[in-house]
Structure formats: structure tokens, C-alpha cells
A and B are shown apart, each in its own frame.
Chain A
Amino acid sequence: MEAVLEFEKPIAELESKIRELKRLSDGGGVNVVDEVVRLEGKLEQLLRQTYKDLNPWQKTQVARHQRRPHFGDYLEGLFTDYTPLAGDRGFGDDQAILGGLARFRGEAVLVMGHEKGRDTETRLKHNFGMARPEGYRKAVRLMELADRFRLPLITLVDTAGAYPGVGAEERGQAEAIARSTEACLNLGVPLIACIVGEGGSGGAVALAAGNRVLMFEHAIYSVISPEGCASILWRSPDFAEVAATALKLTAQDLKRLKVIDDIVAEPLGGAHRDPAKAIDRLGTAIAGALDSLSGKSPETLRDERRRKFLAMGTAGVA
């Protein structure tokens, strides 16, 4: 069921060869240590070469990789005392956006993010990380709670976008997203937004208007998916690769455009190859971002965040 990305096929072949050799040597008898060492060296070189300059379309696939760490993995790796909170108090509890109270390196915080799910069952449960209005309304409720109790807010963004459905429209999807973005911009506590996988359009911004926006090296953040853009502007989804390049959706592009603040380096071969290391690196980046904001008054935090977003698109574009 696990699909190997097209450009990773040579890597996967080498990995399976190494696994096979190791299995043989475990059986005893055959001494393959030298060969394994040689192949592992080759693998590292191949990974380095492949991942040095992934094109935007390849990054899109890495960002969506099924084995990439998800909200639950970050919770486990970086937070303690997680106490989930649920519901928008109006309609229901949206499982596409999860959140609650927790401790990050000892400090009480509020953590919130999209969860895509990993297999058929959990993907359906979390609606593939595509939130409905009640998800954004829960987000607003949690943000207001964080503000009231002066808890720093950490958001983990990973969504293809808000869900396009009849019920979602009926219950005011657009308004819910707008209010959630506005809630971000109202906070008197630090908001560290982390684009960990896919930052898809308005459904991502709604949790991402932060004092600091961190983004993984191979994550993407875009106004529309490459496929969607290709269908509209090129009138064919076959142009997704071209659209991905044109949209400038990589972390490197976004840093240059001053839309994000910092890029978090991924382990060699992407976060999906070594989730623990990726999670650890994100933790370090979050801690650094929180440190850089410590001691600032609620007014300053709000003011700086608003100034930053008021300048979006007018600075650093050249």
C-alpha cells in the first residue's frame, strides 16, 4: 500500500538490497559487512544528491508523504501532559483540527494542529486533515482560551485545505476561516506556527498568522494546490509540475519572500525517513522561537504580529 515516490525509486531499491543483505548475514555464515558498509555509503551519497535540490513538485510529494510525522507524532515527541479539548460548542467536534493544553519543555502551552490520519480508518476519522467550520470555530475557542490564560500557542499546519462540502458551506466555512485568522491576529500571547507538511490555502492561514512562522525544509505552503492551479490556468492537471514551480511554494521561496521566518532542516532524505530526528529538530526550532519572544507584553506581541502581516507582499519582493 505504501507507494514509493517516483524519484525515490533508486533509493528504495538500494535500501531493499541492504535490508536483504542484512537478513542474509543475520542467518549466519555469510559475511557481508563490507558490502553493507559500501552500499550504505552509496545510499547516503544517493540521498544527499537526490535531496540536495528537489524540485517544487518533488517537494510537494515529500510534504504529503504518508510516513511523514503527523500531529500525533509531534504530540508524543515534544509535549507532555497533553490534555485534549474538544468541540466548537455549537455543532460538533471536528477531528481534522486537534488541540489542547500541554507542556512544552516544562512550560504550559496550548498546542493545536491539523491531523490527516494515516490509514483508511484514521483518514476518514480526520477527514484527511480537511477541516469544516466547526474545526475553525474550535480553533477560535482554543485561541481565546490560550489568550485568557496567557499560554503560548503552538500550531502545526498540515492540510490540503478546508473541506469543500455542502454542509461546510451551509455552516459558513468562509466565515469560520476568516474568524480563525482574525483570532490569530488578536492574540496577546506568542503564536508559533509550524508548516510541517502541506500548508494548503485559507485552511492553513487560519492557524498560521503567527509571530513566528517556521517551515520544514521540504514542506510546501501555497495559495492553491499545484494540481488545482494547473487545472484552472493550464486547463489540465498534467501541468501540476509546472504549476508547482510557478507558484513558488517551497520553504526556500517563502523565506526569500519574507512570508516565513525560519526553515527547519529535515534529516537526510526527508522527515519521513527519520521522523524522530525531524520532530526533535522542530522542537529545537520552536524553543528558539519562543525564547526570542519571551518577556514581550501582550500588546507588543499583538502589535508586532499585526505589523508583520500588514506588510505582507509589500516587503522583500524583488
Chain B
Amino acid sequence: MNWLKKGRAKLSTIFRRERPTSEEVKWDTCVNCGQMIYHKEMVAAQYVCPHCGHHHKMPPKERFAALFDGASYDAIGVPKQADDPLKFRDKKKYVDRIKASRVETGEQDAVTVAEGKIGGIPAVVAIQSFAFMGGSLGIAAGDAFVAGALRAVNEKSAFVMITSSGGARMQEGILSLMQMPRTTVAVQMLREARLPYIVVLTDPTTGGVTASYAMLGDVQISEPGALIGFAGPRVIESTVREQLPKGFQRAEYLLEHGMIDMIVHRHDLAAKLGGLLNLLMGGRRDDRPAQLALPSPAKGKRAAAN
């Protein structure tokens, strides 16, 4: 248990348990095959069903631990902003929805960021958690994305974004929409610093998130079976009024249509990321701008004489 000593993240927060006794005997049900699975077994399997291989949603802290070398990482702080800029209320007040999500998840907002090494390469990883208001993209999530990207640029680290989101956070109106160009600028900073930006799409990733940073990766990975799209399947169904093709908007369908590079099983993700980062960061790091070495064009008469 070498990583116990090296692990900088507090174990108590990785394995936070409200009621340890009930947790010990908890059973989960696979949403795909319906099999009952001992919760501890599910955690050990990184929330992949041992019976059918279905990838369930995974809490961010457990993902960090699974991805970083030796489960060792540091959280990256995100500057906190005032909640609820529009004073939004629908059936409930938006501030109450945020509070409830914070209590439920133990996170500040939908995106959490940490840094460590993957395959020996320094990397910043941001994880979007569907459990926090559907992983919706608002200012706080934008802040976290930008903070992560900036950290990567400053430290010359790779940036890995693990997405899961229903799209923009409606309760922040236009300001949530503006997180699309905002996060895109952060992606451009990574590009210009020639640092790898790898996107791992997990179930589900749709809407404004897919239409911005989630589709701009240097390498696009998806977990098996993940739903990925711009419009949600129900919206499309009601627009086109016909049955959607089998497997529509699933990872395998996107791979077939050339929208992603690969589908990677969760158990292989850390190794695959490590391999990719080593290849991407293993090239000659020449910071001079690329220049074409062409002879200067011959001028009028001489060219004609030749």
C-alpha cells in the first residue's frame, strides 16, 4: 500500500461515508442488467457492472484516485464567486438547488480539478460530475475549467477533461451560454502552449458542453455506451417524429461516424491516458515556430532566361 503514504489527498475524503455501517451492507442495482451488486464490489470495480460491463456514474474523488499514478494528487482550488447572478427562481429558488446539490455531493459545483501524474507525465484532470445539478455548465464550472487549463499552461502539464453534463445551466441564463466561448479560449491557450488536451466523454454529455470544450480535444476518448450529442434524443424524436436509429448517439455510434478517436473501458483508462500523454509529450519540444524553408522566388527576367 505504497500509495497510502504518498497519497496527498485525504483518505477520509476519498472514502467519505455518511453511515459506514449501512454502507457495509449496501447493495447496488445495475441500471442496465438489473443485477444486484454488493456496493463494495461496485466500488472496487470502479462502478463498472461485473455482470454486463455497464459503466455507471463514478464520484469524482474515486476517479481521481483511479487515474493518477499511485492515487496521488493535489486538489486545485477554484476562486469562488457569488452564487445565482440572475436571482433565478423556477419552482424552486436556484440558490436552494445549489445548496441541496452541495450537501448531496460534498462538492462546490459540477467541475472539480486536481493535478498529479499520469504515466509519469504531469497532468491536470478536471472531472464534471452529473450528480451536481446534471453536471450543468455555469460560471462556477467555467471557472474550474479555466483554472485547470491555466494551471496546466503554467506548469506545462497536460489537461484531461472528463465530461458528464446535460448542457448549460439554465438558471444562469446567458452567463451560462457565455461559458462556451469562455472555455474555448482556455482550450486555445492549451493549444498555443502545445500541451495535450484530452477529452474523456462519459455518460451523458450533451448540449452546450458538447458544443464547446467537450468536442475540442486533441484526442477524443469515450467510455463504452456513453450518450453523446448536441440535442437530447427526446428533443430530436419530437422534432423529426420518427424512431431514432438503434444505438443513436452512443459512443459506438460516434466512433463509427468519425466523431471520436476511441472507446476505452474504464479499467484501462489510466493506462491509455498515460500511453497517450507519453507519446504526445515525447516529441521534440522545439518551441520555435514552424517555418517553411523555401528558396526565395526568382525575379522576372532571370526566371524567364532560365
Contact = CB atoms under 8 A, between A and B. Distances in A.
B91, B143, B173, B182 — which one has the most chain A CB atoms within 10 A of its CB? B173
A209 B188 CA distance: 14
Contact count band on A: 35 or more
A224 interface: yes
A175 B168 contact: no
A247 B175 CA distance: 10
Contacts of A309: 178, 181-182, 184-185
A168 interface: yes
Contacts of A232: 170
Given A182-B188, A202-B177, A313-B172, A166 B210 contact: no
Contacts of B239: 163-165
A317 interface: yes
A178 B212 CA distance: 4
Contacts of A186: 188
A162, A177, A310 — which one has the most chain B CB atoms within 10 A of its CB? A310
B85 A317 contact: yes
B170 A202 contact: no
Given A209-B181, A222-B173, A309-B178, A162 B90 contact: no
Interface string A164-207: 11101111111101110110111000000000000001100110
Given A165-B236, A169-B229, A313-B175, A178 B90 contact: no
Interface string B193-218: 00000000000001110111111100
A310 B206 CA distance: 22
Interface in A229-268: 229, 232-235, 243, 246-249, 253-254, 257, 259
B174 A257 contact: yes
B283 to A, nearest CB: 23
A68 interface: no
B176 A178 contact: no
Contacts of A287: none
A177 B230 CA distance: 9
A313 B210 contact: no
A172 B230 CA distance: 8
B270 interface: no
A162 B175 contact: no
Interface string B107-148: 000000000000000000000000000000011001100100
Contacts of A47: none
**10 nearest CB pairs, A to B:** A164-B231, A174-B210, A312-B178, A233-B90, A174-B230, A313-B139, A223-B177, A175-B215, A177-B211, A173-B230
25 contacts: A162-B230, A164-B231, A166-B242, A166-B245, A169-B231, A169-B248, A172-B257, A173-B231, A174-B211, A174-B214, A175-B210, A175-B259, A178-B213, A179-B216, A181-B181, A223-B172, A248-B86, A249-B173, A309-B182, A310-B185, A312-B181, A314-B139, A317-B139, A317-B175, A318-B82
